[in-house]
């Protein structure tokens, strides 16, 4: 749920320091507090409307309180809104059967694109290099056919995984 959407109606209301920290906690818990009671999910648009509606109701309650608003006034107001939300059948906001697909931020897209490169680096620098060193050392101390085959397989696996990664990334 959007933090900015929730904060906007409350931006003109002065809060005590304790109330400000509690407001951050409220914002952090919005997805759980305003979840549907029945099975299903809210669409992204419905979540935004619901968040805005809850913030406006809270702002309306806080405008009747003494300024700056105390922690106790904020807590009691938010509790009253949550009770009303659940008693009034989620304020009749519609739910859908499928969970909505959230768009990824640019940082999340970058992290998802970067992860395969990190994995290949770990794989080639640690895992496969350890295997090549191990089989190279055992092959030099005991030059049997099985040790040579294992060394060749480790080297081929190393080149094969890097080649497959390069081929897969070149297709994109």
pLDDT above 70 for 1: no
Output the pLDDT for position 54.
92
Residue 162 in contact with residue 120, Cβ under 8 Å? yes
One domain, residues 72 and 121: no
Peptide bond preceding 68: is omega within 30 degrees of 0, i.e. cis? Answer: yes
One domain, residues 34 and 3: yes
One domain, residues 85 and 38: yes
Give per-residue pLDDT as tens, 46-90. Answer: 889 999 999 999 999 988 888 888 889 999 999 999 999 989 888
Output the pLDDT for position 121.
86
pLDDT class of 40 with cuts at 50, 70, 90? confident
Tell me the β-bridge partners of 41: 96
One domain, residues 61 and 115: no
Q: Two tokens at 22?
A: 């509690």
Q: Two tokens at 57?
A: 């109701």
Q: How many domains would you assign to the chain?
A: 2
Q: Which residue has the tokens 């818990």?
A: 29
One domain, residues 91 and 113: no
Output the pLDDT for position 81.
93
Compute the distance between CA of residue 168 and CA of residue 106 in angstroms, rounded to an integer. 22
Output the pLDDT for position 84.
92
Q: Is 143 within the bounds of a domain?
A: yes
Compute the distance between CA of residue 126 and CA of residue 27 in angstroms, rounded to an integer. 43
Q: Which domain holds residue 65?
A: 1-96
Compute the distance between CA of residue 40 and CA of residue 28 in angstroms, rounded to an integer. 21
One domain, residues 27 and 76: yes
Pick from 62, 68, 57, 166: which is nearest to 120 by CA?
166
One domain, residues 113 and 89: no
One domain, residues 78 and 8: yes
One domain, residues 119 and 165: yes
pLDDT above 80 for 162: yes
- Angle, helices 71-87/17-28, rounded to nearest 10 degrees: 30
Q: Is 101 within the bounds of a domain?
A: no
For residues 14-33, give the mean pLDDT. Answer: 90
One domain, residues 125 and 77: no
- DSSP secondary structure, 102-135, as one string: PPPPHHHHHHHHHHHHHHHHHIIIIIHHHHHHHH
Residue 28 in contact with residue 73, Cβ under 8 Å? no
Pick from 120, 130, 16: which is nearest to 70 by CA?
16
One domain, residues 81 and 159: no
Compute the distance between CA of residue 50 and CA of residue 91 in angstroms, rounded to an integer. 9
């Amino acid at each position: 749920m959007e933090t900015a959407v929730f904060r906007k109606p409350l931006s003109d209301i002065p809060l005590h320091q304790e109330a400000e920290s509690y407001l951050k906690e409220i914002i952090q818990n919005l997805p759980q507090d305003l979840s549907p009671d029945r099975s299903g999910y809210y669409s992204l648009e419905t979540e935004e409307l619901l968040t805005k509606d809850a913030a406006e109701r809270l702002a309306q309650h806080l405008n009747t309180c003494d300024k700056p608003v105390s922690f106790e006034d904020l807590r009691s107001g938010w509790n009253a809104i949550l009770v009303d939300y659940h008693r009034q059948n989620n304020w009749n906001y519609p739910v859908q059967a499928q969970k909505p697909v959230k768009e990824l931020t640019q940082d999340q897209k970058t992290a998802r694109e970067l992860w395969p490169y990190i994995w290949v680096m770990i794989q080639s620098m640690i895992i496969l290099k350890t295997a090549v060193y191990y089989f190279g050392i055992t092959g030099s101390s005991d030059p049997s056919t099985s040790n040579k085959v294992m060394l060749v397989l480790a080297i081929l696996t190393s080149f094969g995984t890097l080649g497959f990664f390069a081929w897969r990334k070149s297709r994109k």
